[in-house]
Amino acid sequence: MRYGLIAAIALSLFAGAAEARPLPTPYKSEAVNFAYNLLFCDTPALFLQNKSLASTTPLYRVLHAKPADAANVRKIANDAHVESCTRMLAYDWLRAHKLAVPPKVLLGVVAELGSSGGPDTVAVYTDGSIRFISAEEKLASFGPDTPKINAKAQELLSKGRALLPRLDPWKEPRVPAVPFGIFRITFLASDGLHFGDGEARSMAHDKFGGETVRTAIALMRLTHDADK
């Protein structure tokens, strides 16, 4: 199932969503770059562009929260029934306001494999959603109605939870997308983004993270084949 709606609105939004730090632009299309940056759930300005958000939604309440709303933001962050990206933004809000958050609560995993045209990118979230962007700039979305892909996504999340305690949160702005031949896996967690990257073959045979990397690559292949 393609998520063409994001691509359709992205071109008009990306230029107005710039922050002090530039966002990665690994693809030729601005619309696809917009969709790529949404995957990491770390840039509220991108989500603020959606003027159609109802004020009753958790996402709206997080994006427009004031310091007095901290208790409500925390409830959203800790609510397993809330969409994963909204929860990630809520935890980001709490950290930005110097408020404590629980460590290592996994909300999603983004895997990238660099190619000559841009990265193949797959993202999975604990709410069950799965997103894929191919190096050819095709966008797709998957869920429970694709059992084989969904099963592999759940396996990746399970392995990610086991690996996450070994990683430290990244404290700097998000790094540029991976170049040709490099694999990166990014964990979206309550205490921020955690990632590891390197030459794809070496990553797949890493003593601690190799199983997680191989699962991510297998999921990437499944989503790529399903989108043909």
pTM of the entire structure? 0.90
Asked if the model's pLDDT at residue 216 lies above 80, the reply is yes
* CA pair distance 33, 12, nearest whole angstrom: 12
Burial class (CB in 10 A: 0-12, 13-18, 19+), 127: middle
* CA pair distance 102, 113, nearest whole angstrom: 30
pLDDT band at 228 (very low <50, low <70, confident <90, very high): low
How much is the pLDDT for 14?
Answer: 40
Q: Position of tokens 């841009």?
A: 118
Can you point out the beta strands (E) in 161-210?
182-189, 192-199
How much is the pLDDT for 52?
Answer: 94
- Average pLDDT over every residue of 58-79: 98
Q: Position of tokens 């427009």?
A: 64
29: closest CA among 11, 16, 6? 11
State the DSSP string of 91-132: HHHHHHTT----TT-EEEEEEEE--TTS-EEEEEETTS-EEE
